[in-house]
Structure 1
Amino acid sequence: MLTRRALITRGGAAGTGVLFLWTARPAEAEASEEAAAPVLASTKSIPLGGGKIVQGKYVITQPKKGVFKCFSAKCTHLGCTVASVSNFRINCPCHGSQYNALTGAVVRGPAKRALSRKRIKVVKGKISLA
């Protein structure tokens, strides 16, 4: 028969083990997510003053040599996917909206809001989401 003290001691030890496993797992998951971040593009594939639409979700630009920016590829006017980047502008084919390739700000409407920024990291010539 278990005494109250033995039950509390065993329960405490089991709780500590569960707490340890619970706190250790998220760190392991974060490490594997970081390692598994998919590469969106290589830096060589992004032209200076231009950019590239990736997976129909992102637009990556190189507005200055060695500076890379990433934005949502969804136009803030009616949700069309932007189609191109040229002359430091991101261009939407649906109604002619244009965005600044450095900031994502509207340069020409009808869009009223800037493209949303996406955090990226550049490691060894590869661009991935941060």
Structure 2
Amino acid sequence: MSEASESPTTALPETSRRTLLCGASAVLAVGGAVAVSGCASSSSTGGAGNSSEAGGSSTKSASQPAGPVDVGPASGVPVGGGTVYREKKIVVTQPTAGQYKAFSAVCTHAGCVVDKVADGQIQCPCHGSRFAIADGAVQDGPAPRPLPEYKVAVQGGNLEVTPA
């Protein structure tokens, strides 16, 4: 039996490491405009940052602003509980009176936004992950990591959260 093929073989072009890394960066930049040094070309792709094109989600980018975000009055966060600011992808808790904690509201399992704080836990509706209101630690999986903690301060009665 012959090893030769009926059709002529064509060599595929080699993918450079730079092209591969730039492509991977673009895939990871879901819904946001990301500049990766050394990946720029003379043409613009335009529209690639549209969140509906990146994963089909109608929610905004998972990235957070660098500066403080005013989420509203401190009085809106109950003692022993918390409040989810879904549009800002932030959850603020008050484990004890006057002690505020802020976390990313994006679950570390599948990227769903947590939907409520109840029974001393931040709860994700997608797969049942639960996080502690005091430190964002996983209390019930499948989430593999705690929620990222943010800085929070009370300014003029309002909560200002700074993503770390």
TM-score (structure 2 length as normaliser): 0.55
* Structure 2 Cα separation of the partners of residues 116 and 70 of structure 1: 9
Pairs aligned (count):
95
CA distance in 2, matches of 1:72, 1:43: 17
| TM-aligned CA distance change 1:109 to 1:129, over 3 Å | same
In structure 2, how many angstroms separate the alpha carbons of the residues matched to 1:38 and 1:56? 8
The aligned runs of 1:27-106 (5 Å cut-off) are 37-54=68-85, 55-106=87-138
**Closer, same or farther in 2 for the Cα pair 1:112/1:37, shift >3 Å?**
closer
Shift, 1:92, TM fit? 0.3
Query: Any unmatched runs of 5+ in structure 2?
Result: 1-66
| Pair 115,38 (structure 1): closer, same or farther in 2 beyond 3 Å | closer
- Secondary structure in structure 2 of the residue aligned to 1:81: coil
CA contact (8 A) 1:37 1:128 kept: yes
In structure 2, give the amino acid aligned to 1:106: V
- Could you report, residue by residue, the CA deviation over 1:30-59 in whole angstroms, capped at 9, with x for unpaired residues? xxxxxx844212111001111111124100
Structure 1: distance between partners of 2:97 and 2:133: 13
Structure 1 residue runs of 4 or more that deviate by more than 3 Å after TM superposition: none
Paired with 1:79 and 1:89, the residues of 2 have a C-alpha distance of 18
What is residue 114 of structure 1 aligned with on the other side? Answer: 146
User: CA shift at 1:128, angstroms?
Assistant: 0.7
Q: Looking at secondary structure, tell me which structure has more helix per residue.
A: 1
Identity in percent:
40
CA distance in 2, matches of 1:38, 1:86: 24
Which has the higher Rg, Structure 1 or Structure 2? 1
Letter in 2 for 1:46: V
Compute the RMSD of aligned alpha carbons.
1.5
Alignment gaps of 5+ in structure 1: 1-35
